[in-house]
Amino acid sequence: MSTQVEWFGPNKSKITNKKARWTLQNKDRRLQIKDLKTQEDQGTWECFISRSGLRITRDVRVIGFANSLDGAVMYAAVNSTVVLSCELNTDFQEIPKNILRNPVLRWTKDNKTIVEADLINFNSSLLQQTIDKVQFEHAGEHKCSIAFTRRKLSKTTRLVVMKVSADHPRLDSKENVTLCCHVAAPDLSKAQLCWNNRRDSPKCETHLPEGKFCYETRSAGEWKCSLMVQGEEKLSMIYFVDEASTVSNSFPLTYIAIGGGGMLLLLIIIAVCVFSCKTVKQKRQRARRMAQARQHLLEKKTCQCHRDLTNDYYHA
């Protein structure tokens, strides 16, 4: 009777040859695991020999990233903050020396090296990259890799960045406002951009060769641009369109009112001046006539007195 051997993984599930990563060899007495996964393969493995009832356990420790999801996508709005992490799932100081020999950390963006450092003197701050005030040029593939002795860990994060803009922030009496939603991403084949406000139905576009969707509107208020991927909203930003300004409409009326008031005031001043000048002129003319009359009377009286005196002397 042959001895039957069974293998069980950390989650107590029975191991078979159905998974390509697992290979049973030497009549199931040997199990080879390829492409180790931190979440699936780390833990206690068990070998059960049915004939003797013997159970042999082995603890497997898989060194990897704390967040081991390779190819993950991060979404960020312009001017926000993003933290890219390369932290390990185990304490760096606890890694065996035969594995942790001359470790080198490298950060790259779109295959261009940004940071390269020797981790002999471990510095945990190097395992994170913080991007303050994210801009469009930060979008792309960010890769972190740590080279150990004959081993290498690598992790890729795809960063998608969004921004919104308008040709002018306020509605005009004659022109529409054009809202534009821009997205920088490695792949937009399964994405769509949608503009939406509370009063109108969403306006969406799936054809995004330039990574943007522009929409003309005459509706003021809050507009939201959403990045949809396979029907799920991944990122959104708000743009507020102001109401049409009333300054340009009221200015002519104000100008006319001010102008009319100025003209009326000017007419009043002119009328007062004319009336005053006329009154002064009349007073001067009256005074001149009175002076002439007094002069005439004085001259007449003088002549009469002179004649009377002459006669008196003559008679004397």
CA 7 to chain centre: 54
User: Of 160, 195, 224, which closes a domain?
Assistant: 160
Q: Distance between CA atoms of 207 and 226, rounded to whole angstroms?
A: 15
Amino acid at 53: G
Question: Do 212 and 155 reside in the same domain of the chain?
Answer: no
Residue 283 forms part of a structural domain:
yes
Residue 250 forms part of a structural domain:
no
Q: Are 143 and 155 in contact (CB under 8 A)?
A: yes
Residue 237 forms part of a structural domain:
yes
Question: Do 101 and 34 reside in the same domain of the chain?
Answer: no
Residue 272 forms part of a structural domain:
no
Residue 178 forms part of a structural domain:
yes
Number of compact structural domains in the chain: 4
Residue 120 forms part of a structural domain:
yes
Question: Do 90 and 142 reside in the same domain of the chain?
Answer: yes
Burial class of residue 10 in the structure, from the number of CB atoms within 10 Å of its CB (0-12 exposed, 13-18 middle, 19+ buried): middle
Residue 176 forms part of a structural domain:
yes
Residue whose entry in the numeric block shows the structure tokens 């003559």:
314
Per-residue pLDDT for the chain (316 aa), expressed as one digit of tens each? 567 899 999 988 888 877 788 888 888 889 998 888 888 898 999 999 988 889 999 999 888 888 766 678 999 999 999 999 988 888 877 888 777 777 889 999 999 999 998 887 777 788 889 999 999 999 999 999 998 877 888 999 999 999 999 988 788 777 889 999 999 998 888 899 999 998 888 999 999 989 999 999 988 889 999 999 999 999 999 999 988 765 444 333 333 333 445 556 556 666 666 666 666 567 666 666 665 565 555 444 433 444 444 433 333 2
Question: Do 84 and 107 reside in the same domain of the chain?
Answer: yes
CATH number at residue 229: 2.60.40.10
Domain of residue 82: give its range. 72-160
Q: Distance between CA atoms of 144 and 74, rounded to whole angstroms?
A: 15
Q: Are 7 and 31 in contact (CB under 8 A)?
A: yes
